[in-house]
Amino acid sequence: MNVTAQSVWNNCLSFIKDNIQPQAYKTWFEPIVAVKLTDNALSIQVPSKFFYEWLEEHYVKILKVALTKELGENAKLVYVIKMENTYGNKQPFTEKIPSSNRTAVKSQDVDIPLNNKSPELKNPFIIPGIRNVKIESQLNPNYNFENFLEGDSNRLARNAGIAVANKPGGTSFNPLLIFGGVGLGKTHLAHAIGVDIKDKYPEKTVLYISAEKFTQQYIDSVKKNNRNDFIHFYQIIDVLIIDDVQFFSGKSGTQDVFFHIFNHLHQNGKQVILTSDKAPVDMQDIEQRLLSRFKWGLSAELQTPDFETRVSILKNKLYRDGVEMPEEIIEYVAKNIKTNVRELEGAIISLIAQSSFNKKEITLGLAKDIVDKFVKNTKREVSIDYIQKVVSDYFQMDVSTLQSKTRKRHIVQARQLAMFFAKKYTKASLASIGSQIGKRDHATVLHACKTVDNLSSTDKQFRKYVEDLSKKLSL
Ligand code: ADP
Ligand code: MG
C-alpha cells in the first residue's frame, strides 16, 4: 500500500478519535490538514499559532502514541502554521470568507520533536477547560440586581440594564453605556447585567473585562504576534462588558481594535455594555468614529443618590451583614456622605469595625468621628472651581464677578484670595491657576500670592478673611 501523508494521518486520526471526547476531536483535530510526509516526519497544517500551542499543551501525548504506531520510534511531527490575513483595509472583517478560500499570506514551520516538553499555554484569552474551550465570565455574583437598590438617581440605568439582561442584543440599548462619577455603582450595575444574563441564558458567552486589562491583553497580543487570535477571541463573545472605557483615551491602537470588535459584535446582534466616568460628549482623546458608536445605543447616567436612596442602601447593607444600628445613626451617615456610595458603605463598615474591635457601643459621637474622617478625606482634593465658589460665596458675589476684569478693590481682593488658595490647596501651576481664574497670566497669580501673604500679616480684617476661608476649604 502506498503510504502518504494523508493515509498516515487518517490512521492517527482514527486512533485519536477513539480516545478523546467527540467535541474535542471536532474542535482540535478535524481542522488539521496533513500536508507532507518525508521519511519519518509528518507535517500537519494547523490554523493558528494558538491552535498549535493548544495541541502541544493538551494532546502531545496522544499525538506521540498515534504517530509512533504509524512511523516508528523516530517519528517526528512538524507543525505548519497557517497564518491568516491581518485585519486591515484589505480585508473587511465583516466579510465571511470560508476558511478553505483564505489565502495563506505566509506560513511558518514549527518543527517540534515529540519528546519536547510542552510549551506553556501562553494565550491569555482562553482559560483551558478540560475538554472544551470555555470562557470564564469573570463576573462577581455579589454584584447583582437584587442588591443594587433603585432610586431616582439610577432608575433609567438600572431599568435599561434589566431590559438588556432580558433580551441581550435584542433591544435598542446596544451598546448600553453607563456613565457617572466614582463610586456610584457603574461596576456593580455592569456585573449585575452580566450575572442576570448568565442566569437566564446559561449557553451565552458573557465576558466582563476592565478596559485596562483589555488594553494590556491587546498590547501583549501585538508583542506576541497574535493580534488575530485576540480579535477572534473577542468576536465569539455574545455579551461583552467593558468597564471604564475612559481608559482608552489616547490609546489609538486599542481604540482601533475595539472599533473592529465592536462593529463585528454589533452587526451580529451581540450585546455590548460599557461604563465610563464621563458622558460621551466629555470624553477626551477618543476617536470620533468610536464616540459615534457609543451613542448608537443608550447612554444612561448614574447620578448621586438622594437621601432616601442612601438610607436604603445603608439599611440593605446592614441587613445583609446582619448588623443592627439605630435609625438616627444611619440617617446621620446618609445625611453627611452624599457623593459616593463606596464611601457611604466604607463609613458604615468602619463604624461596625470600630465598635466591635473596641467593644464600644455605636453612638452618634462615634459616628460623627468616623464620618468626619471620610468627609475630610474627600474634601482634601479641592478643585479650583470649588475654591472660586467658596470664595465668591463668602464675599457674596458671583463667580463671574470674581473673574471679571474690574479693579474694584473688594473684588480684586477676592480674586487674589482665590488664587492664593488655589496655589495652597491644589497642585496646579501658576499659569493654570491664572487661566482658570479669569484668564490671568502666571505673574498675576504670583503677585496675588505675595499680596495675600503681606496683607494677612499687616491687616487684621484681611487675616480674618484668610482664616475663615481656610476653615471652609479644609473642612
Ligand atoms: P463605580 O464603578 O461607579 O466606581 P462601584 O460599582 O464600584 O462604583 O460601586 C461602589 C460601591 O457602591 C459598591 O460596593 C456597590 O455595591 C455600591 N453601590 C453603588 N450603587 C449602589 C446601589 N444603587 N445599591 C447598592 N449598592 C450600591
Ligand atoms: Mg468601577
Both 169 and 290 in one domain: the answer is yes
| Close Cβ partners of 335 (under 8 Å, ≥ 6 residues apart) | 307
Nearest CA owner, ligand 1 atom 14: 342
Both 347 and 413 in one domain: the answer is no
Residue 358: CATH number of its domain: 1.10.8.60
Nearest CA owner, ligand 1 atom 4: 183
Q: Is the dihedral of CA 46, 49, 54, 59 positive or negative?
A: positive
Both 242 and 262 in one domain: the answer is yes
| Close Cβ partners of 435 (under 8 Å, ≥ 6 residues apart) | none
Domain final residue pick, 377, 395, 422: 377
Residue 412 has what pLDDT?
A: 95
> E strands of 39-175, at which residues?
41-46, 76-82, 107-112, 127-128, 133-134
Q: pTM here?
A: 0.59
Q: Decide if 453 is inside a domain.
A: yes
Residue 208 has what pLDDT?
A: 96
Nearest CA owner, ligand 1 atom 20: 185
Distance 273 CA to ligand 1 centre (A): 17
Cell numbers representing residue 417 in the block? 484670595
Is the beta carbon of 154 within 6 A of some atom in ligand 1? yes
Both 428 and 329 in one domain: the answer is no
Query: Which residue is associated with the grid cell 462619577?
Result: 181
For the CA atoms of 245, 249, 253, 259, what is the dihedral angle to 10 degrees? Answer: 50
Domain final residue pick, 109, 131, 147: 109
State phi, psi for 369 to the nearest 5 degrees: -55, -50
Distance 244 CA to ligand 2 centre (A): 7
Q: Decide if 132 is inside a domain.
A: no
Both 360 and 463 in one domain: the answer is no
Quick one: which of 41, 54, 29, 203 has its CA closest to 119? Answer: 54
Please identify, by atom number, the ligand 1 atom nearest to the C-alpha of residue 143. Answer: 16
Both 297 and 194 in one domain: the answer is yes
Q: Decide if 134 is inside a domain.
A: no
Identify which of 146, 147, 188, 333 to mutate to test ligand 1's pocket (most ligand atoms within 8 A of the CB).
188
Residue 124 has what pLDDT?
A: 44
Q: Decide if 263 is inside a domain.
A: yes
Q: What is the DSSP letter of 211?
A: H
Both 159 and 260 in one domain: the answer is yes
Quick one: which of 468, 463, 466, 422 has its CA closest to 445? Answer: 422
Measured CA to CA, the distance from residue 93 to residue 230 in angstroms comes to 14
Question: 28-34 long-range contacts, Cβ below 8 Å, gap at least 24?
Answer: 28/54, 28/55, 28/58, 28/59, 31/99, 34/5, 34/6, 34/8, 34/9, 34/10
Buried b (16+ CB within 10 A) or exposed e, 223-233: eeebbbbbbbb
Residue 12: CATH number of its domain: 3.30.300.180
Residue type, 52: Y
Is the beta carbon of 314 within 6 A of some atom in ligand 1? no
Cell numbers representing residue 347 in the block? 463609613
Q: Decide if 128 is inside a domain.
A: no
Measured CA to CA, the distance from residue 158 to residue 148 in angstroms comes to 8
Provide the 3-class DSSP secondary structure of residue 88: coil
Q: Decide if 127 is inside a domain.
A: no
Both 195 and 287 in one domain: the answer is yes
Residue 421: CATH number of its domain: 1.10.1750.10
Distance 204 CA to ligand 2 centre (A): 24
Both 69 and 204 in one domain: the answer is no
Residue 185: CATH number of its domain: 3.40.50.300
Both 199 and 264 in one domain: the answer is yes
Q: Decide if 115 is inside a domain.
A: no
Domain final residue pick, 377, 396, 415: 377
Please list the ranges in the chain whose pLDDT falls under 50.
Answer: 84-108, 110-133, 379
Q: State the CB neighbour count (10 A cutoff) for residue 301.
A: 15
Q: Strands across the sheet with 107-112, in order?
A: 33-38, 41-46, 76-82, 107-112
Is the beta carbon of 341 within 6 A of some atom in ligand 1? yes
Question: 85-90 long-range contacts, Cβ below 8 Å, gap at least 24?
Answer: 86/227, 86/228, 87/228, 87/231, 87/260
Cell numbers representing residue 64 in the block? 506521540
Q: What is the DSSP letter of 103?
A: P
- 343 Rama class: left (phi>0) / alpha (psi -120 to 50) / beta: alpha
Both 10 and 32 in one domain: the answer is yes
Number of domain units in the chain: 4
For residue 209, what are the domain limits?
155-302
Distance 110 CA to ligand 2 centre (A): 43
Both 261 and 320 in one domain: the answer is no
Q: Decide if 295 is inside a domain.
A: yes
